[in-house]
Amino acid sequence: MLVQRAERSTYIVHMDKSFMPKAFASHHQWYTSTVDSVKSTSTGPKTLSGHHPTPRILYSYDNVLHGFSAVLSKDELDSLTKTPGFVSSYSDWQATLDTTHTTDFLSLNPDTGLWPTSDYGKDVIVGVIDTGNYVEGASFCGYALGKARGVAPRARVAMYKVLWDEGRYASDDPITIASFGAMEKGVLVSSSAGNEGPDLGTLHNGIPWVLTVAAGSVDLKCIDFASSNVPGAIFIFDGPGIFEFSDFPIPGVVISSKDAEAVIKYFKTTANSTASIKFQQTIVGTKPAPVVASYTSRGPAPSYPGILKPDVMAPGIRMDMLLKLEVMALLDYVNLLCSTNFTKNQILTITRSNSYSCQNRPFELNYPSFIALYTKKTGMIVQTFQRTVTNVGASATSYKAIVRAPEGSTVIVSPEILVFGKVYEKQSYSLTIHYMGNKNGTVIFGSLVWVEQNEKHTVRSPIAISPVIKVW
């Protein structure tokens, strides 16, 4: 029987490069030969020309990961798993695009603040992984005929195009495993949390070794009322989407839900209701601020819910930390993978090294935050966290623990006072959360604040108690 083409899919294949025979001059040659070797094993149907359609390599990887992506049939993939050096494989999948469009909210000043302090980002190397869309008439001088510039105008920017007309797929996506390789070399990888909030468990990039950033601005697009046919009237809109916009083409105000109840009640119960909007002044310093944008994705992270994510929010909070947590080492992250029951091959896929074992299985990282998870069935939880901090402030000082326990919980810190005799001295403490749970499955928050004896410095760590989120 003749058919048009055997069914094929794109797969990403990880290989152990130590298995490469010396006869090959490069890994690409080895991968190509490996894929060619499974051609004859294909038992799929023939094309109209009478030949088996052949598998083909799309990309070969030899830096952040070892392996290749290729178009293969199921039979060819099965044969490939039996070849020397095969580690793991998975189907290509459509990646999620996270984007926003402005940095105006940072209010960067050319004379004071972050710009001059950092010498405008001089010698800072910024790696940009983006869509790379072609824009007609783009200027290398920046926006607005060069008047507007990037957040680090003197930085060295390396850009990598990852999205094409054909779509966005994991075989083009260097983030997931590449970030581990970058972390090995001391490079900080920052990634957006995603734009699928406000539901829990919608975080895209909850990888422990990546700095996950939530959005704090809501300036994505404008509402067009041209088709609403309401000239000369006041238009009341109470949909949740209103909070995703900050620019309005006509005069408008956003009011609180409490005030909205009164306004809507008046409108519905009054036959000839009237209203006016009076613009007088802009009020600054309102609280709370900053507030997480409604659209930004929330944790817990599906990949590893045991770490509180996102890590920071743009524009973020000023943190003057004279007391800091120990920096996580490469082995800490490997041990974390072990504690989540990753297999040897799965760890090899990420680390690209056979030198790690799973003799130690710690439950957590030395992270500057705490998250305890509960299920609606079991409810009550008791969880203890261990943390180690380093004094980077005064040579002799002490810090006292001030706890704001999440509602309905008890939080115990031991010891309650940390005493340091010199700079860079380390001290450890434990934090235990007791919580009875609730049937509503809500998330509650609190904090642990270490206050220096002279109250000159404070160090805050957030505490979250969250239900377990089922994402699959």
Q: How far apart are CA 449 and CA 288, in angstroms?
A: 19
Neighbours of 266 (CB within 10 A): 12
Dist. CA 406–CA 420, nearest whole Å: 29
Question: Per the domain annotation, does 470 fall within a domain?
Answer: yes
Among 58, 91, 124, give the residue marking a domain's end: 91
Q: Is 435 a member of any domain?
A: yes
* 382 is a domain residue: yes
Cα separation values, 68 from 15, 89, 129, 343, Å: 8, 10, 20, 21
Report d(CA 87, CA 67) in Å as an integer. 9
**pTM, full prediction:** 0.48
Domain count, the chain: 2
Please name the residue ranges forming H helices in 174-232: 175-184
- pLDDT tens digits for 287-329? 666 666 665 667 676 666 667 777 666 653 333 334 444 445 6
Residue 424 domain flag: yes
Residue 229: its pLDDT value, please?
A: 55
Q: Is residue 464 part of a domain?
A: yes
Asked whether residue 466 is assigned to any structural domain, the reply reads yes
CATH number, domain containing residue 406: 2.60.40.2310
Residue 339 resides in a domain:
no
C-alpha torsion angle, residues 259, 197, 200, 435 (rounded to 10): -40
The pLDDT of residue 261 is 85
d(C-alpha 315, C-alpha 293), whole Å: 11
* Tens digit of pLDDT at every position of the chain (472 positions): 444 445 788 898 988 888 888 888 888 999 998 998 887 544 444 444 444 457 788 888 887 678 899 989 888 899 998 888 898 888 887 765 554 434 444 555 666 666 677 776 666 666 655 544 444 444 444 444 444 445 555 555 555 555 554 445 555 555 666 777 777 777 777 777 776 666 676 676 667 777 777 766 433 334 444 444 555 667 777 665 555 555 555 667 777 777 888 888 888 888 788 887 776 655 656 666 666 666 566 767 666 666 777 766 665 333 333 444 444 566 666 766 766 667 777 777 677 777 766 766 555 678 888 988 887 776 678 889 999 899 987 788 999 999 999 988 999 999 999 999 998 899 999 999 998 877 777 888 999 999 998 888 889 999 988 887 765 4
Residue 63: which domain range? 9-91
**CATH code of 81's domain:** 3.30.70.80
Q: Looking at the domain assignment, is residue 53 inside a domain?
A: yes
Picking from 40, 70, 91, the residue at the C-terminal end of a domain is 91
Q: Give the span between the Cα atoms of 371 and 463, in whole angstroms.
A: 6
The residue out of 75, 91, 107 marking a domain boundary is: 91
CA dist., res. 290 & res. 296, Å (int)? 13
